[in-house]
Amino acid sequence: MTTTQLGIIDRLTRRYDYHDPDFTPEVAEIVNGRLRDGPGVTYTEAHGGMWVVSRYALIRGVLKDHETFSSASGVFYPRAKGMPKHSPIDYDPPEHRVLRQLMTPPLLAEEVRGLEPQVSRLAADLIAPMIARGHGEIVAEVAKPLAIGVLAIAIGLSERAQHQVRDLTATMWKHFAKDPAKFWPAFQELLSAEVANARRDHSDTYLSRLVRMEIDGRPIPEETLHSIIVSYCIAGHETTMNTISRMLWHLGNHPDLQRRLAAEPELMSVAADETLRRWCPTDRFTRVTTRDVTIAGTDIPAGSRVVVVIDAGNRDPEKFPQPDEFSLDRGNSHQHLSFGFGIHACMGANLARLELRTVLGELARHPVFHLIEEPRRHFENGRHIVFEQVNVGFAGDRPEE
């Protein structure tokens, strides 16, 4: 590590700023670890002042106590003035409870189980062309179309939305902290079209049912429908896309793990959760304190912005020994915080796990794959680690050999 790199790490440890140009995914891992191994609660002057919480038990406590740590001012911070809320994560009870009840039906365990045959066919169809030519690019050919395609299957997203949602999301994160005018009108246009399509649709998709639901005996306002659908569009594809990319990047560097998963398919669920633990797809969330509170001996005033660093908590050695290792024998990988905790725990966890398991299962039927080159990656909005490309080739040997 160079003197310059050490200087950057020291600076960002003292003044934690995930929007700093030097806050790369590589730097973030080191800085997050330093914060966790320090007092666990630190103050940064960045973005008007924030308290940074970085140990597993402390993060879990913040996420559990929604009465003290409010989400109502927006969990993505900083955010541009006038930026609309996302449902239900930017709401506290009782509004949160109502929105979550509206959004949960297509993500229930029994509903997700019913999607398994369609998800399996989609994964097989996406992977087959790569196998035929002996190489492929995981992000564009598998991770993105699978995540968006499964979202479409689950809620009834139109073909137009499927084609546009990724670019709209990337543009949103680029301007989220400064200027919603550069992305929100285009998103609103798409959302209005989805609502109109759903009102004409009588095929019993989730969206066609949603637009006919009521809250307290009244039709759901258009603004609320937009807030629900945009949350599905963004959260429904982005984290899964990035996790598939990361998981297959790691397996591409470790053919031994591919062979083991093919021989022990019961470990595919473990591999999915261990990927989510080791490389959190959403590095941090924020809350605002509703009262004076003390965390690990540190007094935090009411009205303070609190940042929970999920990556640091997922690599807390007190919870996960040898936390930087990817291990299929860990035993508690599923206790990671990547799906959140408490009332804001991810509604789509069942669907995401199905997608990850399905990709692993389909690839296990084919020759071992290897990375052709190390991929580039970057943060979106200081939170999501995005892989630009993951190019792989398929070897002649099969995983079971």
CATH number of the domain within which 44 lies: 1.10.630.10
Model confidence pLDDT, tens digit, residues 344-360 = 999 999 999 999 999 99
User: Residues 262-272: what's their mean pLDDT?
Assistant: 97
Task: Indicate whether 145 belongs to any domain.
Answer: yes
Structural domain that includes position 317: 3-394
Model confidence pLDDT, tens digit, residues 47-62 = 999 999 999 999 999 9
Please give the full DSSP string across 129-192, using - where no structure is assigned.
HHHHHTEEEHIIIIIHHHHHHHHHHHH---HHHHHHHHHHHHHHHHHTTT-GGGTHHHHHHHHH
pLDDT of residue 319: 98
In contact, 305 and 47? CB cutoff 8 Å:
yes
Task: Indicate whether 88 belongs to any domain.
Answer: yes
pLDDT of residue 396: 63
Task: Indicate whether 164 belongs to any domain.
Answer: yes
Q: Position of tokens 């301007």? A: 175
Task: Indicate whether 400 belongs to any domain.
Answer: no
Task: Indicate whether 197 belongs to any domain.
Answer: yes
Q: Position of tokens 């630009």? A: 388
Task: Indicate whether 45 belongs to any domain.
Answer: yes
User: Residues 194-199: what's their mean pLDDT?
Assistant: 96
Task: Indicate whether 401 belongs to any domain.
Answer: no
Alpha-carbon distance of 126 to 140, in angstroms, equals: 10
Count of structural domains within the chain:
1
Model confidence pLDDT, tens digit, residues 289-332 = 999 999 999 999 999 999 999 999 999 999 999 999 999 999 99
Alpha-carbon distance of 50 to 16, in angstroms, equals: 9
pTM over 0.85: yes
DSSP-derived pairing of the beta strands 218-219 and 50-53: unpaired
